[in-house]
Amino acid sequence: MSGQPPRELHPEQPHGARIWNYWLGGKDNYAADRQVGDAVRAAYPAIVDEAIKSRQFLVRAVRYLAGEAGVDQFLDVGTGLPTMQNTHEVAQQVNPAARVVYVDNDPLVLAHARALLTNVTAGGATAYLDADYRNPADVLARAGATLDLTRPVALLCMGVFGYLREADEARRIVRSLLGGLCPGSYLGLWDATDTSDAIRVGVAAQAELGSPYHLRTVAEITSWFDGLQLVEPGVVPITEWRPGPVEVGRPARTDSHGGVGRVP
């Protein structure tokens, strides 16, 4: 942990992790979060389905990385509140020796992570860093206490950069974090995209209630993978990235794009 004094919870202020928890049917949220969540859902009814699709993408990506790609170390940045099928649960089901470090800097997330983000296997390791991803050097330095950064690591940034105003800032963070990882490491990432009028209306409703979120273009998200070897099928709508048997034959439109890339 950072050693810094604990930050206070502000339940009267909406928070992205708690709003997302509400959309996923969780109970770790407050009235302010539900107010924003309901407003966005009224303007953009697909948001709950988008939240579920994004979790399914994470599960498929982690299974690929821990299985076919043979990665046994994961750095999950901006993890949010624990829900079903968290990264360590999926990875350690595939490889019981998988080691996972979660990074977030919200006090409610920290409290739940300490209680819930624990190993599911005897041979694996799970740790949580109270850190800000806008300081990649600090994240990497402290993640090294659990992960061996001289060996491949899968960096996961799942839907976390919409809270940054500038896409270039997200690019800087991704490049800095990848710069501290060795060849053979991976990036798994998705973010919400400016690909429909409906999501633009939903984001506007969210901003009006004090929780701004910034949509990205598909080109911007694709650029975050520059220099990496993209895993097929590349940067695509998240429902099209290696869908499972249940999802095949059920194409669903989504306003989120993502992919997985390997550091050469």
Nearest to 213 by CA among 50, 7, 30: 50
Is there a contact between 64 and 94 (Cβ–Cβ < 8 Å)? no
Model's pTM, two decimal places? 0.89
Domain range summary for the chain, segments of one domain joined by +:
52-195+217-262
Helix (H) / strand (E) element for 243: namely none
Mark out the alpha helices in 144-196 (DSSP H runs).
167-179
Q: Residues 6 or more apart from 144 whose CB is under 8 A from it? A: none
Report which of 250, 224, 231 is spatially closest to residue 239, judged by C-alpha positions: 250
Mean pLDDT over each residue of the chain, to the nearest integer: 88
Nearest to 233 by CA among 221, 222, 241, 244: 241
257's CB contacts (< 8 A; 6+ apart) are 190, 191, 193, 195, 218, 221, 222, 235, 236, 237, 238
pLDDT exceeds cutoff 70 at 5: no
Amino acid at the residue 208: E
At residue 1 the predicted structure's pLDDT band, cuts being 50, 70 and 90, is very low
Q: What's residue 247's pLDDT?
A: 60
pLDDT of residue 154: 98
DSSP states along 114-178: HHH---SSSS-EEEEEE--TT-HHHHHHHHTTTS-TTS--EEEEES-GGGSS-HHHHHHHHHHHH
Residue 185 near residue 215, CB atoms below 8 Å = no
Q: Which CATH superfamily is domain 52-195+217-262 in?
A: Vaccinia Virus protein VP39 (3.40.50.150)
Whole-angstrom Cα distance, residue 233 to residue 112? 35
Average pLDDT of the residues in 219-246: 94
Q: Is 204 exposed, middle or buried (0-12, 13-18, 19+ CB in 10 A)?
A: middle
- Which of these, 102, 88, 101, 120, lies nearest to 17 by C-alpha position? 102
Backbone angles phi, psi at 91, to 5 degrees: -65, -40
Between 45 and 219, whose confidence is greater?
A: 219
User: How confident is the model over 230-238, as a mean pLDDT?
Assistant: 97
Q: How far is CA 240 from the centre of its chain?
A: 18
Identity of the amino acid at 10: H
- In tens, the pLDDT along 75-90 reads 999 887 767 788 999 9
DSSP assignment of 213-230 equals ---B-HHHHHHTTTTSEE
Residue indicated by tokens 């977030």: 104
Q: What is the pLDDT of residues 141-176, one digit of tens each?
A: 999 999 999 999 999 999 999 989 999 999 999 999
- Residue whose C-alpha is closest to residue 62's, from 21, 25, 100: 100
Angle (CA) 169 172 198, round 5°: 45
pLDDT at residue 116 greater than cutoff 70? no
In the prediction, which pLDDT does 8 show?
60
